[in-house]
Amino acid sequence: MSSIIEKGKEVIRIETDALVALQSKINGSFEAAVDLIYNCTGRVIVTGMGKSGLVARKIVATMNSTGTAAIFLHPSDAVHGDLGMVRQEDVVICLSKSGDTEEIRQLLPMFRRIGVKVISMVGNVSSHLAKQSDIVLDISVKEEACPHDLAPTASTTATLVMGDALAITLLHKRGFTREDFAIFHPAGNLGKRLLLRVEEMMVTGSNIPVVREEVPLSEAIVEMTSKRLGATCIVDGSGTLRGIITDGDLRRLLQRTRDITNVSAAEAMTKNPKTIRKGLLAATALEEMESYNITQLVVVDDDNHPIGMLHLHDLVKAGLGGDSGG
């Protein structure tokens, strides 16, 4: 095995060992931190310098997307005015491997003056930051993957995972659902699948292709062509849906006969087509289409009158056909 491969595996081993050891540090302090954040009526302010600051931003992003309002505070900017974002009802999380980061030390008296509770994630539980905190979360590691113990590696991984543990535990405590997640991710595929409704995707009004059942097939074809949905609804005199004619129906008809001069729409239609009601998820409509291998779905009201039509391509184009994401 080459030295490059060995070194890569060693880095992963070191960081994996750090995470395994982290499990034993999920204790009463962790539970107290979760309870403090859960009962917080303000926001979670997360701060850290350097690599810890980058991890802090990720923790903030994870919390915000899982139901815990959070914001990043840069320690240097804090002492130049940004400290004004911190309120007594907030909770502050300070990240520091050494627990002695100068910029964080400067903030601690100010946090005390504001009266905000402080949770620290530190690699040294005897540090100044740990002693000045209300709750201490131990993210110390046996060794860094960096051979010189200079570049934070295993320690930043441990900090990130501790932040994930807080966010996801809070998610469960809040009863945060997939639907809640979708609200915060409306542009993602999951958000679209859980939020978009049939009525938001269907064509309506004069754009619905529809003809009476007694009209010549040629008239139905003109309607299909002009509305460009590859189908038309067939209704009776009261506007009740009786059938549908699709491109596939036309192809099958032409296989049986070339003479369609005297064929009516009713004779060419598929009776009792698949339908759906508004108010349902557009993703449900997509599942129906895929299940029955159809590309159009008629939306009807309680009296079985067509009030819209959905096309498979529009649903897929809207992002409903992919895996969840955000």
Separation of alpha carbons 233 and 308, rounded Å: 10
- Please name the residue that has the structure tokens 């309680």: 302
Task: Identify the structural domains of the chain with CATH numbers, from first to last.
Answer: 3-176 (3.40.50.10490), 195-317 (3.10.580.10)
What residues contact 204, with CB distance under 8 A and at least 6 apart? 307, 308
The model's pLDDT over 72-106, given as tens digits with 9 standing for 90+, comes to 999 999 988 899 999 999 999 999 999 999 999 99
Q: What's the angle, vertex CA 20, arms to CA 48 and CA 143, rounded to 5?
A: 60
Q: Are 56 and 72 contacting, i.e. CB atoms less than 8 angstroms apart?
A: yes
Q: What DSSP letter does each residue of 53-106 carry, written as one string?
A: HHHHHHHHHHHHHTT--EEEE-HHHHTTTGGGG--TTSEEEEEESSS--HHHHH
Indicate whether this model's pTM tops 0.75: no
Separation of alpha carbons 298 and 292, rounded Å: 13
The model's pLDDT over 177-224, given as tens digits with 9 standing for 90+, comes to 766 666 665 555 555 566 688 998 899 999 999 999 999 999 999 999
Q: Could you tell me the two tokens for 298?
A: 């008629």
> How confident is the prediction along the chain (326 residues), in pLDDT tens digits per residue?
679 999 999 999 999 999 999 999 999 999 999 999 999 999 999 999 999 999 999 999 999 888 899 999 999 999 888 999 999 999 999 999 999 999 999 999 999 999 999 999 999 999 999 999 999 999 999 999 887 766 789 999 999 999 999 999 999 998 877 666 666 655 555 555 666 889 988 999 999 999 999 999 999 999 999 998 999 999 999 999 999 999 999 999 988 888 888 899 999 999 999 999 998 888 889 889 998 999 999 999 999 999 999 999 888 887 776 544 44
Nearest to 38 by CA among 181, 176, 182: 176
